Chains A and B, each alone.
Chain A
Amino acid sequence: MISFILNNQTIKTTAKSGMTLLDFIREDQQLKGTKIGCREGDCGACTVLVGSLENDRLIYKSITSCISPLGNANGKHIVTIEGVNLEEKLNVAQQVMADNYATQCGFCTPGFIVSITGHALKQENTHSSCSDSVSGNICRCTGYKSIEKATNVIEELLKKVDSLEVLVAKGFVPAYFKTIPKKLQQLQTSKHSLQTTEGTIIANGTDLYVRHADRLSLEEVQLIGDDTSLKGIEINNGICKIGASTTVTEIAENKDLNKLFPKLKSFLKLVSSEQIRNMGTLGGNFVNASPIGDMSIFFLALDSTLTIRNKSNTRELAFKKFHQNYKKYDLQKGELITCISFKIPDENTKFNFEKVSKRTHLDIASVNFACRISVLNKKINKAMFSIGGVAAIPKVLEKTNQFLKGKELTKQTVKQAEVLLQSEISPIDDVRGTIEYKRLLARQLFFAHFVELYPNEINLSSLF
């Protein structure tokens, strides 16, 4: 039995936990405001909010319901467009969108409104803007300018809002939202856990549902996205440990990590969209094993270690040994990645992440590239470069890293290393680019790391 609150209504259902939340909403509940645009999380027309109680506070996040298993709604508040409507008038976001001509054909519009409402419901609005909240919503009619005008107005209006009470009073959301925490608590007590050891293991489904939604929909799946033992970010004794079910958003919003990586948010803004970052987990990205997995590239450069467990044992594995061949990795049946850990870099160490894709946001990289370099007295102490999109696996540039060790940080070093880099990669022609392009891009982004991290020592034109 899956129990949750859908808008203002308590749901108890025996539907398969692997069914998509979208199908449950549209077919089972006949709520037709949530639209089907692509079923791959790439358009945002099916955006809904997931509210969960964290330390007695309700935290709302937007997700694409097309690639989300129904089972993950258990114990949560799910909000569709119908759930943000006021009785007989437009809510504030809707009115501002109307005033700015921000709806044309109307098909994508509910998704935009839900995303914006998710933004409004965030208690701290400092880290992302209202227009960031629609990063996963595609509109083919408006060209976005009217939507931007609207989100700017909404942003201003939200400055005067500091609580759910005010949001309700000002007409951003209906009043029933105030009753949800209590209802959820009552629901929690009667919550049936979803126990199964048979079905496919799924964290939040952002990859598996793109490819296998039809099959998964018929299953009772094993859901590990909410398993607290697999979540969380902690730093102890110079080691940072991140649970495998931690989402990209949770990483982006973590204060400690932002101290460690001051540009973390801008790096992670290049990873997918708000909705997908709210679901996508580290472990999922690693086992998806795409040669251009953004998080794989990111954590390879940090020389991370995976912790893997099965029923009886736990083992550790250098992350760079995890991916073995195209989509092949070192994980046996019954094993699960529980966390990833890396050493906190010292003050001489710098980190950078580069990604170029056809569309800068919500796109898969042509090449993505991360590095961690430690420089002392103008000498490279240690270098760790990892690159995606140029080999069968997310690639650690072993030879290049080895070569750089102990070298002076000069343009000659960088140029020599680049030659080596080219010998280590083997890109193929595909929809993300030709071989020539990927090689050139690898060179440019390799240079970019140095230009970004050591602008005083290396500038771009000196490299040609």
Chain B
Amino acid sequence: MKNIDSYTHLRGESLFVDDIMVRRDTLYGLVFDSPKAHGKIISVNYTKAETVKGVVKIFTYKDIKGENQIGGIIPDEPLWAEHEVHFQGMPIAFIVAKSEAIAKQARALIEIEIEELPVITTAREAKEKGSFINAPRSFNLGNTDKVFENCKHVFSGTVFSNGQEHLYLETQGTYAIPMENGNIKVISSTQGPTSVQKIVAQVLGVAMHKIEVDVTRLGGGFGGKEDQATPWAVMAAVAVQYLKKPVKLILNRHDDLRMTGKRHPYDSTFKIGLDKDLNILAYQVEFLQNSGAAADLSPAIAERTLFHATNSYYIPNVNSIVHSCKTNLPPNTAFRGFGGPQGMFVIESAIALAANNLGIDKRIIQEKNLLSENDEFPYGQIATKVEMKNSWHTALKHFNLEKLEKEVEEFNKENKRFKKGLSLMPVTFGISFTNTPMNHARALVHIYQDGSVGVSTGAVEMGQSVNTKMLQVAYETLGITPDKVKLETTNTTRVANTSPTAASATADLNGKAVLKACKALKKRLITVSSKMLSERKKDIKFEKNKVYLKGKKTNISWEKVVKQAMLDRVALTENAHYKTPIIHFNKTKEKGHPFAYHVYGTAITEVSLDCMRGTYEIDAVKIVHDFGKSMNLGIDIGQVEGALAQGIGWMTLEEIAYDKDGRLASNTLSSYKIPDVFSAAKKVAIIPLKTKGNKMAIKKSKAVGEPPLMYGIGAYFAIQRAVKAFNPKHKIKFHSPFTPEKVLMSLYEK
């Protein structure tokens, strides 16, 4: 089944927030933000701006009736700055005017005086100055100190991975509308409708039931709209509360780039110890996360970095620590992989360094240490139903790695100007919110009296086709045709208290709830049918809108059963709740069983370097991926391809740049480049790994959103190999992204 939104997407008829018909009296908002990264606000003069014709009101923290606080995990972030600013782009005021153009004119007239304070832009500097978001976290297994002494080989090094701009094609936006009695309806491009509802209520000083949040779909989210869709919705709502008129706020691209956080840059230090047989015996790692100026989701992201610090390897002695470092950048936030990619890049770097220094292929160390059944993760979970080696060896065999390696070797012998490089990237990624209480969802399913079905869940559609999967679960369970089912918008009045659409787990959680609801409804309708037919319930089945008796089609239709159910006063609505069983995690001990299951896979990346110009192409990425029993392979392959491109982008050409004053230099689409059609890998082959699937996943179809992003890490090491083939003197570094600049400098390093 194709993405159920295909028809309207392709015709330009899908509605995004900015496309919704607005009320005639709608006003438009624009954010006035800090021009300095750190300082005390001496004065702000709005007088000239306020006199611009068409400006209705400029809102500041003084206009807030509730709390000036939007922090999700830690309450450390004001909606609008009061007396200090902590990053360039920090919202200070909100201009509401009759048009966006008028608001822009007004914004240019606001005068601000700031007494500048020292600016921290890197995590290292923050650590030196003791600037942290919260206390560090540490996961440990075995005893590294003791074991390092006995290791034959010990290597240590540093790693930097840069941030990444989400670059959802649809910028952040919201449309807030006053309803009767002080109620407000907020249409938002958010991955977390409940957090928008909660924070709006908190800032407005009203009860949550007065705020209705509705989401039709997002033009891309990737984590960037998990927490950071909230402030814009809140600002519009504050204005609505005051003005009693609808307010629309769509961030223009430059405001969005400047004001929102990104994937966290990490500065890391590692030490790895191996025995003579290349078993990794000990691994010590310190992660410095550049969290930006407020907590946002940083603590949770830091935690996931630790969860994935050993990637797909079993290491018996691990000492890992992460510091969330407070800097003067916009608060960095969730981005597909959620700290996992940063953790994995470090262990892969450590192995690359060991291999380089030992003069062997990185693959040998990787292969030697792959995770096996019943191995213990540093966080205490015992690995079960492990598919790591299966995916690895399937990849080697299916894609004939030895032949590929030989081809690269021969090519490099014969060519001077061009070099090729090859790398392998295993991925093991845990599925579940690592904060156990978040692993729940609900579905509300109505069967209307004509037999059509409406499904509401807490899942937000943002291109991942979660709605398509929900629809599949519904129609397959009920035994009706897909056209009978409609997916409703995600709305807090229909499904409340939801977790955000994140952690790759949304289809699992919400799908299981839909399954439960549909099963309950079907059970009732089977009872109705059994009365209609005077037959036993267990002999009755529904299939494609028909009632089947003992496998034979009857002349009773689904519609007829529903009609009868109405006459019998049977409830045709069901609300189901699902929570992931088994999982738990003790944050004091830092041990537990946080993940429902893991997703496994292996990618082989091949690149070509033009050693004259320092440019490169990704020739191929060949992947064996563990989809479980995919319920929609076309869609799931699309997720792998998209995540891979983002991962490669993060590792190669996407370069966030802040200057020393904390100003974003890559502040336009002409200075921040994401992959285009030509820079995508020339060939992408994806082979589904044959497995038995996992019951914890919806219909045994494993989560797919985030894990494949980390295949992109392979591109870094493939480029590194190719550089090394041209310039043996190159001292390998771990500093992503591997831009054409770094490639050329490395090629000619002396």
Contact = CB atoms under 8 A, between A and B. Distances in A.
B464 A104 contact: yes
A134 B677 contact: yes
A98 B2 CA distance: 7
B288 interface: no
B12 A34 contact: yes
A107 B219 contact: yes
B644 interface: yes
A444 interface: yes
Interface residues of A, number: 77
Interface stretch (A253-261, A277-285, A310-318, A357-365): A357-365
A104 B645 CA distance: 14
A433 B677 CA distance: 23
A90 B679 contact: no
Contacts of B5: 103, 106
A202 interface: no
Interface in B1-28: 2-3, 5-16, 18-19, 21
Interface in B717-750: 739-741, 744-745, 748
B10 A103 contact: yes
Contacts of B19: 32
B613 A214 contact: no
Main DSSP-derived SS at the A contact region: loop
B9 A354 contact: no
A131 B670 contact: no
Nearest to B634: A101
Given A40-B253, A40-B670, A103-B3, A144 B680 contact: yes
A95 to B, nearest CB: 8
A356 B638 CA distance: 31
Interface string A110-149: 1001000000000000000001001101111111111110
B219 A143 contact: no
Contacts of A359: 653, 673, 675-676, 679
Q: Which of A147, A360, A447 gathers the greatest number of chain B CB atoms within 10 Å?
A: A360
Given A148-B677, A361-B679, A362-B676, A354 B613 contact: yes
B387 interface: no
Contacts of B18: 32, 35-36
A362 to B, nearest CB: 6
A138 B676 contact: yes
A90 B11 contact: yes
Contact of B11 (A42, A85, A144): A85
Nearest to B632: A101
B612 A140 contact: no
B646 interface: yes
A441 B222 contact: no
Interface string B220-250: 1010000000000000000000000000001
A35 B5 CA distance: 17
A451 interface: yes
B169 A104 contact: no
A144 B684 CA distance: 10
A98 B168 contact: no
A144 B744 contact: no
A205 B291 CA distance: 40
B641 to A, nearest CB: 4
Contacts of B9: 103, 105-106, 109-110
A101 B676 contact: no
A448 to B, nearest CB: 5
A436 interface: yes
A165 interface: no
B615 interface: yes
B707 to A, nearest CB: 14
A98 B744 contact: no
A407 B8 CA distance: 65
Nearest to A110: B12
Nearest to A103: B9
Interface string B346-383: 00000000000000000000000000000000000000
Contacts, number: 230
Given A39-B252, A105-B218, A140-B168, A431 B671 contact: yes
Interface string A140-181: 111111111000000000000000000000000000000000
A40 B252 CA distance: 11
A38 B614 contact: no
Contact of A135 (B657, B666, B676): B676
B635 interface: yes
A364 B665 CA distance: 15
Interface in B241-289: 250, 252-253
Contact of B638 (A90, A104, A430, A445): A104
A82 B11 CA distance: 7
Interface in A202-222: 210, 214, 217
Given A110-B12, A143-B642, A358-B655, A460 B416 contact: yes
Nearest to B655: A358
B612 A98 contact: no
Interface residues of B, number: 79
B463 A431 contact: no
B679 A143 contact: no
A104 B739 contact: no
Contact of B169 (A140, A210, A430): A140
A451 B680 CA distance: 28
Interface string B608-632: 0001111100000000000000000
Contacts of A433: 741
B104 interface: yes
Nearest to B644: A143
Interface in A25-45: 30, 32-40, 42-43, 45
Contact of B170 (A107, A113, A357): A107
Interface string A450-461: 010000000111
B465 interface: yes
Q: Which of A108, A141, A354, A431 gathers the greatest number of chain B CB atoms within 10 Å?
A: A141
B73 interface: no
A359 B645 CA distance: 14
B416 A461 contact: yes
B674 interface: yes
A147 B641 CA distance: 11
B465 A104 contact: yes
Contacts of B515: none
Interface in B417-450: 417
Q: Which of B10, B219, B462 gathers the greatest number of chain A CB atoms within 10 Å?
A: B10
A139 B171 CA distance: 14
Contacts of B14: 106
A104 B3 contact: yes
B45 interface: no
A38 B12 contact: no
B744 A444 contact: yes
B586 interface: no
Contacts of B748: 440
A441 B745 CA distance: 9
B198 interface: no
Contact of A140 (B7, B220, B677): B220
Contacts of B417: 451, 460-461
A38 B739 contact: no
Given A80-B12, A85-B11, A145 B684 contact: yes
A444 B677 contact: no
Given A140-B220, A143-B645, 18 more contacts: A35-B16, A35-B169, A37-B169, A37-B170, A42-B670, A94-B10, A98-B3, A103-B5, A105-B169, A106-B9, A106-B463, A131-B677, A214-B104, A217-B101, A360-B615, A431-B657, A441-B613, A444-B614
5 contacts: A32-B18, A103-B9, A104-B465, A436-B745, A444-B614
Interface of A: 30, 32-40, 42-43, 45, 80-82, 85, 90, 94, 97-99, 101, 103-110, 113, 131, 134-135, 137-148, 210, 214, 217, 354, 356-364, 366, 430-431, 433-434, 436-437, 440-441, 444-445, 447-448, 451, 459-461
Q: Which 8 A-B pairs have the closest CB atoms?
A: A33-B12, A105-B463, A107-B219, A106-B9, A143-B645, A81-B12, A42-B669, A104-B463
